[in-house]
Structure 1
Amino acid sequence: MRVTADRLLGIVLLGLAALVAVQALQWQIPFSYEPVGPRAFPLGLASLLSILALVLVFRPGANGHWPHRALAVKLLMVLVLLVVYATLFTRLGYIPASLLAATILARLFGTTWGKALITGVLMAIGSYFLFTSGLGISLPDGYLAGIV
């Protein structure tokens, strides 16, 4: 069995799924939720990720080659952007952090600054209202909201 990029990615994702499952199982919830608790979502995601990772391990695609250097750098930049977004999410608030992340992500994949900014604004504000009004999820306002 030749270790291709797909198989290696499948093994890494399988390890990530195991880590998520172990962390979810260690949650101690002080009160009961009905009918399922907060563990169900991460365990469900870990199960789905495990199944898809096993597909990559046992049935890699025909093009199981490493990406070109330019694409690999772009993907690494996306990963760094997502880590920065997760870090700034509560500090800046949902809308500014999402606006920044969506705009930079659009620019990273070759759109103009104008289109990237429009995309960022629409995605940040649209998803904010979808989460808060449509789903009833409260999102962080950030430290800037306390100043204004």
Structure 2
Amino acid sequence: MKLAADRWLGVFLIGLAAFVAVQALRLEVPFSYDPVGPKAFPLGLAILLAALSLVLVFKPGANGHWPDRALAVKLLAVLGVLLVYALLFTRLGFVATSLLAIVALARIFAASWGKALLTGVLMAMGSYFLFTHGLGISLPNGYWLEGLI
């Protein structure tokens, strides 16, 4: 029996959920002012991921075929952009890295350069101010800005 693409993805995601759950259970913080602790959020996400992955395994979609070559290349390009984003996040800072990632993602999905740049600037700056001023979360400015600030 040939497994559908959805089922393979479901099995892979269950493995990922198990990995995340094990890593969450290993988190130890010497002190915490939060009664729930740092384990709750990743453990909850792992449980949700496993539950939704089971749906893919036991009830895959009607189309069990792998994506065609063009879509597979786009998906791999998105994965590449996200990996580069993770690697450059602290070096370049949130705004610059987010701007580059959003523009690259928009271009992958055929947005014009003007729309991609406008979307990148608005989303990078808007999310920066939302995180820093609205939620009070500190984001990296990047090593390249240390000499300028």
Distance 2:106 2:145 in 1: 26
Count of residue pairs brought into register by the alignment: 148
Matched ranges for 1:102-113 at <5 A: 102-113=102-113
| Offset, 1:2 | 4.1
Offset of 1:146 from its aligned partner? 0.4
TM, length-normalised to structure 2: 0.96
Distance in 2, Cα, partners of 1:53 & 1:100 = 31
**Structure 1 spans left out of the alignment, 5+ residues:** none
Q: Which residue of 1 aligns with 2:29?
A: 29
TM-score under structure 1 normalisation?
0.97
Secondary structure at the aligned position of 1:147 is classed as coil
Aligned match of 1:56 = 56
AA matched with 1:113 = W
**1:132 maps onto 2:132 in alignment:** yes
Take 2:56 and 2:38, find their aligned partners in 1: how far apart are those partners? 28
The structural deviation recorded for 1:135 is 1.1
Structure 1's consecutive aligned runs of 4 or more residues displaced over 4 angstroms after TM superposition are none
| Matches for 1:1-148 after TM superposition, within 5 Å | 2-148=2-148
Instruction: Look up the equivalent residue of 2:15 and give its one-letter code.
Output: G
Task: Report deviation, 1:11.
Answer: 0.4
The superposition leaves residues 17-46 of structure 1 with CA deviations (integer Å, 9 ceiling, x where unpaired) of 100010111111111232211111111110
Moved more, 104-113 or 36-45: 36-45
Q: Percent identity?
A: 70
Q: Structure 1 residue 134: deviation in Å?
A: 1.2
Whole-angstrom distance in 1 between the partners of 2:83 and 2:17: 18
The alpha-carbon distance between structure 1 residues 3 and 33, as it changes in their structure 2 partners (threshold 3 A), is farther
| Structure 1 Cα separation of the partners of residues 118 and 101 of structure 2 | 13
2:23 partner amino acid: Q
